[in-house]
């Protein structure tokens, strides 16, 4: 109905094309917000099976042979924890 009035040059509410453009922008913003929200909700379900690091896991990594990725992970973990502790003094 409004499209027909716009084609004929009539202004249905007295505001002209500005109202139509503003409504279109508002609807587009709502669409993008809805798409972003749906994406966040769907991405929340994607998780790794076992991501918990226990003290025993860290000890095993620290006892791994020097130069292995597990030993390097241990070194980085302990170094990072030490850095954070030194910042909290």
Let me know if residue 49 belongs to a domain.
no
Domain of 33, in residue numbers: 2-43
What is the pLDDT confidence band of residue 48, given thresholds at 50, 70 and 90?
Answer: low
Same domain, residue pair 7 and 31: yes
pTM, two decimals, is 0.43
Q: Distance (Å, rounded) from C-alpha 10 to C-alpha 47?
A: 55
Read off the pLDDT of each residue in 6-19 and give the average, rounded to a whole number.
51
Question: Domain for residue 35, yes or no?
Answer: yes
* Sequence-ordered strand ranges (E) for 1-89: none
CB neighbours of residue 61 within 10 Å? 19
**Two structure tokens written together for 67:** 């130069």
C-beta neighbour count of 40 within 10 angstroms: 9
How many domains does the chain divide into? 2
pLDDT at 24: 72
CA distance 52 to 49: 9
Confidence of residue 7 (pLDDT cuts 50, 70, 90): very low
16, 37: one domain:
yes
pLDDT number for residue 76: 93
Q: Is residue 50 part of a domain?
A: no
């Amino acid at each position: 109905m409004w499209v027909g009035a716009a084609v004929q040059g009539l202004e249905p509410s007295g505001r002209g094309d500005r109202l139509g453009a503003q409504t279109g922008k508002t609807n587009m913003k709502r669409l993008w917000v809805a798409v972003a929200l749906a994406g966040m909700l769907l991405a929340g379900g994607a998780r790794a099976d076992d991501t918990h690091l226990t003290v025993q896991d860290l000890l095993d990594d620290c006892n791994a042979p020097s130069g292995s990725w597990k030993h390097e992970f241990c070194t980085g973990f302990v170094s990072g924890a030490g850095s954070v502790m030194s910042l909290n003094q």
